Structure formats: C-alpha cells, structure tokens
Amino acid sequence: MNNQTSLSEFLLLEFSKIREIQILHFLLFLVLYLIALVGNLLIISAVAFDHHLHTPMYFFLMNLAMQDIGSVSVIIPKSMANSLMNTQHISYAGCVAQVLLFVFFVGSDIALLTVMAYDRYVAICDPLQYEMVMNRRACMQMVTSVWIAGFLNAVLHTGGTFTTHFCSNVVNQFFCEIPQLLKLACSDLYITEIGPVVLSILIAFGCFVFIVVSYVQIFTAVLKIPSAQGRKKAFSTCLPHLIVFTIFLLTAFVAYLRPPSNTASHVDLVFAIIYSIVPPILNPVIYSMRNKDIKVALSKLRGVR
C-alpha cells in the first residue's frame, strides 16, 4: 500500500495459520479474560454492597477493578473474535477506539496506583491524620482527577497517532498498540506522537519514583511496629502493590522503547501480553482474595454466614 492517506481497516497479528492453534488461542484468551472479569467484578460487588468496605483503600480498589475490566475488555474480545472467525481485520474507527480506550484505562491505572501508594503512606506513616487527609471529599477529588487525566492523556495520544499517514495497514500486534502503529507511518508526522509518548514515559517513571519513595518510608515505619502480626499485615498490603506496578511499568517500558522492527516479534507479543493482561488478572488476587475483609464481604454476597 503506497502512500495511503486514509485506510478503511487494519490487519492485526495472526497468532497462527493453523486452525487448531487459532482455536487454542481463542480458548486461552477466553480463560484469561474470564479470570480477569470475574475477579474484578467480585471486588466491585464486595465493596459496593458491604458498608464496612466503604473506606478510602477499598474505594480506590473498586475504581482500579473498573479500570482493569475496561482495559482487558477493549483488546481481548476482538482478538478472540478474530481467532474464532479466522480473520485479522479491525476497522479504522475500531482501531482508533481501541487506542483511545486502552490508553485511557492504562493511564488511569498508573495514576490510581500512585494515589493508592499515597493512601497507604498516610495510613501507615501518619495514622492520626488519616481520616482528615483522606476524607470523602478528598478521595472523590483524587479519583475524579485520575479519570479526567487518563482521558485527556488518551485523547492526546490518539490524536498524535492518527494524524500521521500510514503506508501499511499490517499491525504486528494482537491489538492496535501505539508503537506498532507508528512503525507504519510514511511521513515525519509520526514525530508529533513521539513527544507525548516520551512525556508519558517520564510521568510514569515519576509515578514509579514517587511510589518507591513512599514505600521506603512505609517499610521504615513498618519495621518499627513492635508486633510481628502488625508488621505482617502492613507488608501484605504494600508489597503486592509495588510488585504489580513494577512488572507493569518494566514490560510497558520495554514495549514502548524497543528499537523499531518491521517484522513481528515474539518478544513484542510477550511483553504486550504481560503489561496488558497480567496486571488485571493479578490485581484481584494479590489485593483482595487474600484480604480477610474482602473474603467476609464475598461470603455475605453468597449468603454464607
């Protein structure tokens, strides 16, 4: 396709031309999607229906679950449908929507995880001020800011990506990923998106530094807790948060900063799966399923006393 200024569709990465492997891919993604969907819906239901969980930490956790459902729902069902129907097609409008919504949910995720780190910092390092600092109004303002910032960030990236002209419509990824789309650019207009990408990476790295510094302070305070039970409880709420965020950022950085290649790469595919699918699956497990309060709330939902 030479110097096309407009496209009607893109072709996403085909996992295999063998029908059996296509079906296997469909089933694997279906299982992963259901795990992420059910786990996060359970969190939302538990927090929404149990007034004991109407606290800042669980309020943020519920919003994180909504963002995780959104991010996987934007990319996985389309990939599953393509494998099932033996096709690679996604419309131009569908690709634009996929970029907009995926960046929106992922960007909001990063911002919210940073807010959650601050919440844990105040709760552990300054507990006497916690109720005053993390009051209902403050929490609502933080979450509203997270969603608005995520949307504005998504609009910026989507506009920067699709202002360019594409010389090909073959995307070497199972969803419309910005780095893969920029490789298709046939003019220097793609530079308009490189700036926002670099800016977002710097902001994400800044969030990472903020979270690390917060947890250094948290771990220092935790080590001073005389009770072994208290130390264990504090670490159990903080370490998983740091681990998931680190995995997410490292794989996303690799996906977005790898040197461009015109051929499909298994490494690109693996890193895309890790940063886009693994966190929404792990978050319900490490944040909630080992949490006593969440277990009690889920038991009440099932009618177990």
> Residue 145 corresponds to which tokens in the numbers above?
């800011």
We find that the CATH architecture of domain 9-301 is Up-down Bundle (1.20)
**SS3 string of 16-73?**
CCCHHHHHHHHHHHHHHHHHHHHHHHHHHHHHHHCHHHCCHHHHHHHHHHHHHHHHHH
Q: What is the mean pLDDT of each run of 10 residues along the chain (305 residues)?
A: 62 87 93 94 90 89 94 95 92 95 94 91 88 93 95 92 86 90 76 76 87 86 74 68 78 71 70 87 77 78 63
Q: Which pLDDT score is estimated for 220?
A: 84
DSSP character at residue 290: T
Strand partners for 10: 90
The H or E element containing residue 90 is strand 89-91
- Cα torsion at 152, 43, 116, 279 (round to 10°)? -70
Q: Which pLDDT score is estimated for 3?
A: 42
How do beta strands 89-91 and 9-11 pair? antiparallel
Q: Which pLDDT score is estimated for 233?
A: 65
Q: Which pLDDT score is estimated for 141?
A: 96
